[in-house]
Structure 1
Amino acid sequence: MGFPRLAALAVTLDGSGDMTRVLLVQRRNPPDAGLWGFPGGHVEPGETALQAAARELAEETGVIARPRAYIDNIDVIECGPDGALRFHFLLAAVRCDYVSGVPAAADDALDARWVPVAEIRRAALPLSARVADTVARALLLERLGD
């Protein structure tokens, strides 16, 4: 398969104000094994990134959410020691509205849970790159009414 590869991230917020929390998973597989980030994965042929975000969220956590809007696009590029491209993912961060379910790790997640936004801001967990920035952007878009 060629590069870049399209993937979707489900940025699922719940609550409001100081009580806002976001659903994160602890990754099982490289490149972010052990780090906390948004549930997500590859966009399948014929599937929109919004649909993929909701599907991946359900597969990884058992949580059902309604995809609402694109938040941002994130390039993840890694080259080997020789400078050769190892991988390039274009991640479509999708704002999802929580519908139902209790987070439980499945698929390629070690753990899944609601994390208070305050913990993300102070990096209380080892986070994947851009998690804090993406949450901040999602909250800003929420205040602006998407």
Structure 2
Amino acid sequence: MTDITPAPPRRPILGALGVVCTHIEGEDCVILVKRKNPPNAGTWGFPGGHVELGETAAEAAARELFEETGVIAEPGAQLMTLDVIPRNADGTVGGQYFLVATLCHYMSGQPVPDDDALEARWVPVVRIEDLGLELLDRVADLARLAQIAWREEPRVAPNAPIT
């Protein structure tokens, strides 16, 4: 039988995460999506994806946020770069990703999942680890960092209920 497992990329892949933080009904909240497809199916994380040729990481973050949730936001400051190196079952490197997390300032829309997500919603930062969500690595840390950065430069908050 032929092994059809794809070979890992030969070079790291650049991705972008759109991290929106805003104040809703008395709480600072971020948008998270529940992944529908592998890798990480069933886990919660920030909207994100590949940076396209010719676009900045900040532009990609805002685009991916809109594509995955329908929320329109203006990209702001870079929050951090995550170095993700998934391993195969045998311990070999399965790929490598540099994910540039960008604070995006909410403009309009409510989170609605696209075809790649099971759910998309506002999640209170202070309760992010208490909601029983299976979070991807560093999501809670990144949410708190976004909250701090957003408080330094807040924008208009949406009139949206917490679900």
| TM-score using structure 1 length | 0.91
Runs of 4+ in structure 1 deviating by more than 6 angstroms, as ranges, are: none
Matched, 1:19 2:30: no
Structure 1 residue ranges without an equivalent (≥5):
none
> Given residue 84 of structure 1, which amino acid in structure 2 is its aligned partner?
T
Larger displacement relative to structure 2 (11-20 or 62-71): 11-20
Instruction: Mark the runs of 5 or more structure 2 residues left unpaired by the alignment.
Output: 1-8, 155-163
In 2, Cα distance between the equivalents of 1:16 and 1:110? 22
1:5 lines up with 2:13 in the alignment: yes
2:82 match: secondary structure: strand
Q: How much identity, in percent, do the aligned residues show?
A: 50
Aligned counterparts of 1:113 and 1:31: Cα–Cα separation in 2: 20
- Secondary structure (helix, strand or coil) at the match of 1:20 reads strand
For residue 60 of structure 1, the aligned residue among 43, 53, 68 is 68
Greater Cα shift, 83-92 or 6-15: 83-92
Please, which of 111, 115, 121 is the counterpart of residue 119 of structure 2? 111
SS of aligned partner of 1:52: helix
Deviation of 1:140 (Å): 2.3
Letter in 2 for 1:61: T
**Residue 5 of structure 2: aligned partner:** none
Of the three residues 46, 63, 72, the one matched with 1:38 is: 46
As a proportion of its length, which structure holds more helix? Answer: 1
Q: CA deviation at 1:17?
A: 9.7
Q: Distance in 2 between matches of 1:134 and 1:123?
A: 16
Q: Does 1:90 align with 2:98?
A: yes
Say if 2:18 and 2:102, in contact at 8 Å, map to a contact too. yes
TM-score normalised per structure 2: 0.82
Paired position in structure 1 for 2:159: none
How many residues align? The count is 146
Distance verdict in 2 for CA 1:81–1:34, change over 3 Å: closer
RMSD: 1.9
Partner SS for 2:21: strand
Secondary structure of the structure 2 residue equivalent to 1:31: coil
Q: Can you list the C-alpha shifts for 1:123-144, whole angstroms capped at 9, x where unaligned? A: 5311111000001111222345
Whether the 8 Å contact between 2:21 and 2:150 is mirrored in structure 1 is no
* Equivalent residues of 1:59, 1:107 under 8 A apart: no
SS in 2 for 1:124: coil
Which of the numbers 130, 133, 141 marks the counterpart of 1:133? Answer: 141
SS of the residue corresponding to residue 96 of structure 1 reads: strand
Deviations 1:4-51 (A, max 9, x none): 101000110111795111111001122211111100000011111100
C-alpha distance in structure 1 between counterparts of 2:40 and 2:117, whole Å: 11
